[in-house]
Amino acid sequence: MPHITIKPFNTSMLKKELYRETKVLFKAIDLSSSDELIAVEVKSSRFLLHLKKAKESWLLKYDKVTRPLDVNLIKKAIDDILNGLNLDILNSNITIHHNRAKIANRYEKSIEDFIDIEFPFKDVSIEVGFGSGKHILYQAISNPNELFIGIEIHTPSAKKLLRQIELKGLNNIWVVNYDARLLLEMIPSNSLHKIFVHFPVPWDKKPQRRVISSSFLDESMRALKKGGRLELRTDSSNYFWYSLNTFLDKKSTAIDIRKNISLAVTSKYEARWLKEEKDIYDVSVTSLNKSKDRDIKFDFDFNGVKYSDFILEKISKKPILFNDFFIHFERFYRIDINTILIKVAFGSFNRPEQKYIYIGSRDSYYFGLNPIKSNTNYKAHLKIKEYLNV
Ligand X SMILES: C[S@@+](CC[C@H](N)C(=O)[O-])C[C@H]1O[C@@H](n2cnc3c(N)ncnc32)[C@H](O)[C@@H]1O
Chain residues that interact with ligand X, rule: CB under 6 A: 128-132, 151-154, 157, 179-181, 198-201, 211, 267-270
Cα-flanking dihedrals φ and ψ of residue 84, to 5°? -60, -40
Angstrom distance (rounded) from CA 145 to CA 121: 7
> Given the complex with ligand X, which of 59 and 141 has the nearer CB atom?
141
- Looking only at the bridges linking them, the beta strands covering 339-348 and 326-336 are antiparallel
In angstroms, what is the minimal distance from the CB of 157 to ligand X?
5
> Given the complex with ligand X, which of 32 and 237 has the nearer CB atom?
237
Question: Nearest to residue 93, comparing CAs of 11, 192, 3, 186?
Answer: 3
> Given the complex with ligand X, which of 136 and 340 has the nearer CB atom?
136
In angstroms, what is the minimal distance from the CB of 351 to ligand X?
8
In angstroms, what is the minimal distance from the CB of 115 to ligand X?
19
> Given the complex with ligand X, which of 79 and 179 has the nearer CB atom?
179
CB 291 within 8 Å of CB 185: no
> Given the complex with ligand X, which of 73 and 232 has the nearer CB atom?
232
In angstroms, what is the minimal distance from the CB of 232 to ligand X?
11
CA 332 from centroid of its chain's CA atoms = 22
Q: What is the CA angle 237-243-246, rounded to 5? A: 145
CB 280 within 8 Å of CB 273: yes
In angstroms, what is the minimal distance from the CB of 233 to ligand X?
7
In angstroms, what is the minimal distance from the CB of 154 to ligand X?
4
In angstroms, what is the minimal distance from the CB of 26 to ligand X?
31
> Given the complex with ligand X, which of 2 and 129 has the nearer CB atom?
129
**3-state secondary structure labels for all residues of 39-103:** EEEECCEEEEEEEEECCCCEEEEECCCCCCCCHHHHHHHHHHHHHHHCCCEEEECCCCCHHHHHH
The DSSP code for 319 is -
Q: Is 383 helix (H, G, I), strand (E, B) or coil?
A: helix
Angstrom distance (rounded) from CA 74 to CA 61: 8
> Given the complex with ligand X, which of 68 and 360 has the nearer CB atom?
68
CB 196 within 8 Å of CB 220: no
In angstroms, what is the minimal distance from the CB of 128 to ligand X?
6
- Looking only at the bridges linking them, the beta strands covering 254-259 and 281-286 are antiparallel
> Given the complex with ligand X, which of 199 and 329 has the nearer CB atom?
199
CB-based contacts of 373: which residues, under 8 Å, 6+ apart? Answer: 115, 185, 186, 296, 298, 300
